A and B are shown apart, each in its own frame.
Chain A
Amino acid sequence: MNINFTLISQALAFSTFIWFTVKFVWPPLLRAIEERQKTIADGLAAGERGRHDLELASQRSSEILKEAKQQASEIILQAEKRASEIVEEAKNSAKVEGDRIISGAKAEIDHEVFSAKEALRQHAANLAIAGAAKILRKEVDAKAHAELLESIEEDLK
Chain B
Amino acid sequence: MAADTELTPTKYIDHHLTHMTIQVKEGAFWTLHIDTLVTSILLGILGLGCVWLVVRKATPGVPSKRQAFVELMIEFIDNEVKNTFHGNRHVFVAPTALTIFIWVLLMNTMDIMPIDITAWIIENVFGLHYWKIVPTTDVNTTFALALSIWFLMIFFSVKVKGLGGWMHELFCTPFGKNPLLWILNLLFNFIEYVSKPLSHSLRLFGNIYAGEIIFLLIGMWAATGVAGAFFGAILGAGWAIFHILIVTLQAFIFMMLAVVYISMAHESH
Contact = CB atoms under 8 A, between A and B. Distances in A.
Size class of B's contact patch? 35 or more
Interface residues of A, number: 32
B176 to A, nearest CB: 36
A13 B56 contact: no
B102 to A, nearest CB: 8
B243 interface: no
Interface in A26-54: 26-33, 35-36, 39
A18 B52 contact: no
Interface stretch (A4-12, A76-84, A89-97, A121-129): A4-12
Interface string B48-89: 100110011011110100010011001100000000000000
A32 to B, nearest CB: 4
B75 A33 contact: yes
A152 B45 CA distance: 159
A135 to B, nearest CB: 143
Given A5-B24, A5-B29, A30-B90, A17 B140 contact: no
Interface string B74-110: 1100000000000000111011101100010000000
B209 to A, nearest CB: 8
A25 B55 CA distance: 6
Interface in B15-63: 24, 28-33, 36-37, 40-41, 44, 48, 51-52, 55-56, 58-61, 63
Q: By CB atoms of chain A within 10 A, which of B30, B74, B95, B138 has the most?
A: B95
A11 B144 contact: yes
A26 B60 contact: no
A33 B71 contact: yes
B147 interface: yes
B139 interface: yes
A22 interface: yes
B148 interface: yes
Given A15-B148, A21-B99, A29-B74, A6 B58 contact: no
B141 interface: yes
A104 to B, nearest CB: 98
B41 A29 contact: no
A10 B60 contact: no
B96 A6 contact: no
Given A10-B37, A28-B58, A22 B96 contact: yes
13 contacts: A3-B29, A4-B29, A4-B30, A5-B30, A9-B37, A10-B36, A11-B144, A13-B144, A20-B52, A21-B95, A22-B96, A26-B98, A29-B70
